[in-house]
Structure 1
Amino acid sequence: MKVVPLTCALGAELQGVNLAEAGRNDDLAGAINELLLKHKVLFARDQEMSNAEHAAFARTFGELETHPLAPSTSGEPGIIQIWKTPESPPERYENAWHHDATWRECPPMGAVLRCLECPPVGGDTMWANMELAYDRLPDHIKGTIEGLRGRHSMEATFMAAKPIDERLAMKERFPDPEHPIVRTHPVTGKRSLMTGAFMTHLTNYHTARNVRFGQDWQPGASALVSYLISQSFIPEYQLRWRWSPGSVAIWDNRCTQHYAVMDYPPCHRKMNRATVQGERPF
């Protein structure tokens, strides 16, 4: 197996590897897990695997979870279909920087995404290193956000356009959780910035330390949230992957954000994803 770094910030391509075999080979799976901790996002091209092999490989990182809105493949509930067709509604959920499913109390550890069909041009996915984004914040910003927490919501994103009864029922099923703005990786101990498109507001900003008078909290907190979210926009923290059928991406959701670029004309883009259960952020 050859490991080819893709940028100075994150990402590496694995060459000469069979990911389906890694689902049956503990030594190979362990090596890939170590590489994921180092590079945060891994890629491999020309992978022939069934949905069952896809799920088996993803389970080498942990147990799989389902998504309440995305359909699962037949016979493999741990594999969801993220399929876009010319008939798909013009939804804009993916083309925003985000950690997956921070609207869960325990967001995913990571995911394994496999391309079945993609546009001839366009439809790339981008990732950003949120450890680097935190490390390079000015010291006074690090001091300001130490101990701050943010509210994350499915209701305000995926469910916003749904009828109110469906929206409220889903909110009861997935109450908006609160997560630290700066989280600690449970394996490496490194700190990273945890914001993204599912975060709606800061929950504990309104204190004497940050607020001079009652209405002062709103513009101050909003400006800070906008600034923190914008850190994933910085090219020096990013990589961009061009898909081809049979290519696979594996990412650590605890320290990266990603963005699915929806720049392609009406056509087919079919991706299958296995999402690995995670722990409560701290």
Structure 2
Amino acid sequence: MQQAVCAPKARVPDPSPDESLPFTVERATPAIGAYVGGIDLRDPLDEPAYLALRRLLIRYKVLFFRDQDITPAQHVALAQRFGELEVHPVFAHHPDHPELALFDKSGEKRGHENIFHSDVSWREVPSMGSILRCVECPRVGGDTIWVNMALAYDKLPEDVKTRIATFQAVHDLLPLFGKVLSPEQRASVRAQNPAVTHPVVRTHPESGEKILFVNEAFTTHFANYADTTAYRFGFDLKLAEMDLLQYLFRQAAAPEYQVRLKWQPNTIAFWDNRAAQHYAVQDYYPAVRRMMRATIIGDRPV
């Protein structure tokens, strides 16, 4: 079951032009992402460092940190600095820290995260962000791609923006995760995690940006398409709905909106789930790829 809902964070002040950051920042691509250096994430973040990282997260959507040999307890403490953490209802958990989801792939267990998605968009209160640490990975392969969905929305044709402005979409975890659960587990997970409805275009609570908030992993259909669309026959209605939804899904696949990270052990990625989607490239089987992720509870999309 979802943890208690956190109140949205107060809007973080914009940085002044002459702000002096306590670490280095190198932009990854024109669209999204930045590498942050000169910081040791084993140490608790003081207020200036916390505020600076939060501003950078909002600006760049995903932050990358190399050579961060943190313990699971330090991983949890870092994530908790940004908000309350969730416990995932399907993924394996760290034995001492249930807030840490474990991704342990090898020749015995192939990965299946190779689909564009926003973590836990199927929750009534989706996540604010995720912090993923690489424990072990192949020398080649196993990259992750992130997408700036604020930019994807901004570049949509104006007639599409007008059309989807009032649309709501249904998000559900079972179509993707149900295949790994027994019938009894499916019933239990469904009872605690019913399908939910979110705006197709959400507003970022801190930046005010408009974001395209549908993803092909968890968004199943529009909740109010028939209420807003004239049609002759039922098959026209359903096919047109699926065509539009697939068109919106495809925006995440544009390389112009993306950044791709080559993992190394002790690399950390911290991304804004409200504004970014990601895709774990499954090109490394049967090599070993082990990761840990903490997910920070966010706010209801509006």
The answer to whether the superposition gives a TM-score over 0.5 is: yes
Whether the 8 Å CA contact 1:155–1:168 is kept in 2: the answer is: no
The partner residue of 2:286 within 246, 260, 266 is 266
Equivalent runs, 1:1-282 vs 2, <5 Å: 1-21=23-43, 23-88=44-109, 90=110, 92=112, 94-160=113-179, 162-196=181-215, 197-207=217-227, 209-282=229-302
Normalised by the length of structure 1, the TM-score is: 0.95
Q: Could you give the per-residue CA deviations for residues 73-117 of structure 1, whole angstroms, max 9, x where no partner exists?
A: 1221221211112211x452x100000011111111001101110
Alpha-carbon distance in 2 for matches of 1:156, 1:62: 29
Which stretch has the larger CA shift, 63-72 or 110-119? 63-72
Amino acid across the alignment from 1:118: C
Alpha-carbon distance in 2 for matches of 1:183, 1:37: 15
Amino acid across the alignment from 1:68: P
- Aligned-partner SS, 1:230: helix
Q: Could you give the per-residue CA deviations for residues 11-31 of structure 1, whole angstroms, max 9, x where no partner exists?
A: 00001111222x342221221
Whether the 8 Å CA contact 1:117–1:268 is kept in 2: the answer is: yes
- Aligned-partner SS, 1:207: helix
Alpha-carbon distance in 2 for matches of 1:71, 1:155: 16
Whether the 8 Å CA contact 2:105–2:111 is kept in 1: the answer is: no
Alpha-carbon distance in 2 for matches of 1:167, 1:81: 20
Alpha-carbon distance in 1 for matches of 2:78, 2:261: 21
Alpha-carbon distance in 1 for matches of 2:221, 2:210: 20
Q: Structure 1: which 4+ aligned runs deviate by more than 4 Å?
A: none
Whether the 8 Å CA contact 2:170–2:220 is kept in 1: the answer is: yes
Alpha-carbon distance in 2 for matches of 1:38, 1:135: 15
Q: Could you give the per-residue CA deviations for residues 27-84 of structure 1, whole angstroms, max 9, x where no partner exists?
A: 2122111111111100010012111111111111101111111122122122121111
Between the aligned residues of both structures, percent identity stands at 42
Structure 1 pair 160/72, CA: closer, same or farther in 2 (3 Å)? Answer: closer
Which stretch has the larger CA shift, 67-76 or 103-112? 67-76
- Aligned-partner SS, 1:61: coil
Amino acid across the alignment from 2:192: R
Q: Could you give the per-residue CA deviations for residues 171-229 of structure 1, whole angstroms, max 9, x where no partner exists?
A: 11100001110000011111100111100111100035343443321011000000000
Structure 1 pair 49/161, CA: closer, same or farther in 2 (3 Å)? Answer: closer
Alpha-carbon distance in 2 for matches of 1:169, 1:258: 28
- Aligned-partner SS, 2:63: strand
Alpha-carbon distance in 1 for matches of 2:70, 2:161: 44
- Aligned-partner SS, 2:235: helix
- Aligned-partner SS, 1:19: coil
1:3, distance to aligned residue in structure 2 (A): 0.3
Structure 1 pair 24/132, CA: closer, same or farther in 2 (3 Å)? Answer: closer
Whether the 8 Å CA contact 2:111–2:282 is kept in 1: the answer is: no
Pairwise CA RMSD: 1.3
Normalised by the length of structure 2, the TM-score is: 0.89
Whether the 8 Å CA contact 2:200–2:213 is kept in 1: the answer is: yes
Q: Structure 2: which 5+ residue stretches go unaligned?
A: 1-22
Alpha-carbon distance in 2 for matches of 1:192, 1:171: 28
Amino acid across the alignment from 2:35: E
Alpha-carbon distance in 2 for matches of 1:16, 1:154: 38
Amino acid across the alignment from 1:200: T
